[in-house]
């Protein structure tokens, strides 16, 4: 968790030192910390599905889901600070960030319930439901960031190619989670 936070903080400090602490530098730092956060989120999101689909060699990754999720939440603290800074300095603050704030709520709700005693109080079934809903919502926030917003702003011709690896990971993660879910329930139905 500390390393994830330090990487996010260091990355944003370097970007802000190079591009300034105004809107441009903050926007670039936000994009950098979002990408870093996604690289931590993705194995937490897709790790269990990878282990289910590709066998026991990947169960170690699935077991690290909690730690990777907490590292993601830690890195998001820097990202969240940059969002608040941008709102503070923006010439015309954008009031349409409810979607993002719900994603932040989901992130820290999951982090709060990472304590086993809280999970036990919630119960296994409700914990799994909460975990699934919040993880899918966070993935949806990343989909907005990597797919929908860039396409709305720049169209297909201006779509940044640097987003393609993140889109492939995101779509692949969703696909693997769906296949894992289907496999799980197909086995239970037998």
Dihedral (CA of 80, 8, 67, 55) sign? positive
Kindly tell me if the per-residue pLDDT of 29 is higher than 80: yes
Domain ranges of the chain: 2-189
Burial of 45 per CB tally in 10 Å (0-12, 13-18, 19+): buried
The C-alpha atoms of residue 58 and residue 100 are separated, in whole angstroms, by: 31
Q: What angle do CA 17, 153, 93 make, to 5 degrees?
A: 60
Per-residue pLDDT tens over the stretch 106-158: 999 999 998 888 888 989 899 999 999 999 999 999 999 999 999 999 999 99
Token pair listed for 175 = 């696909």
Per-residue pLDDT tens over the stretch 2-20: 999 999 999 999 999 999 9
Other CB atoms within a 10 A radius of the CB of residue 66 amount to 15
Q: What angle do CA 86, 26, 41 make, to 5 degrees?
A: 95
Q: Do the Cβ atoms of 46 and 173 come closer than 8 Å? A: yes
For the chain, what is the largest distance between any 2 Cα atoms, rounded to a whole number of angstroms? 60
User: At 76, is the pLDDT very low, low, confident or very high (cuts 50, 70, 90)?
Assistant: very high
Which one, of 172, 101, 78, 173, lies nearest residue 135 by Cα?
173
Per-residue pLDDT tens over the stretch 167-180: 999 999 999 999 99
Other CB atoms within a 10 A radius of the CB of residue 97 amount to 13
Token pair listed for 162 = 């640097």
Kindly tell me if the per-residue pLDDT of 93 is higher than 70: no
Kindly tell me if the per-residue pLDDT of 94 is higher than 70: no
Average model confidence (pLDDT) across the chain = 92
Dihedral (CA of 78, 81, 86, 87) sign? positive
């Amino acid at each position: 968790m500390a390393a994830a936070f330090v990487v996010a903080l260091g990355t944003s400090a370097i970007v802000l030192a190079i591009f300034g602490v105004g809107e441009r530098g903050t926007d670039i730092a936000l994009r950098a910390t979002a990408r870093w956060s996604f690289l931590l989120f993705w194995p937490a999101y897709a790790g269990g599905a990878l282990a289910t689909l590709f066998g026991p060699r990947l169960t170690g990754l699935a077991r690290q889901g909690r730690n990777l999720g907490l590292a993601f939440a830690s890195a998001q603290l820097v990202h969240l600070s940059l969002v608040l800074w941008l709102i503070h300095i923006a010439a015309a603050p954008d009031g349409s960030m409810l979607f993002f704030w719900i994603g932040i709520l989901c992130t820290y709700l999951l982090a709060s319930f990472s304590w086993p005693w809280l999970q036990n109080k919630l119960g296994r079934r409700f914990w799994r439901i909460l975990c699934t809903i919040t993880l899918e919502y966070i993935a949806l926030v990343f989909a907005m960031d990597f797919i929908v917003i860039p396409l709305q702003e720049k169209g297909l011709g201006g779509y940044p190619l640097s987003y393609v690896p993140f889109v492939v990971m995101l779509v692949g993660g969703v696909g693997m989670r769906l296949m894992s879910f289907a496999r799980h329930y197909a086995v239970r139905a037998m």
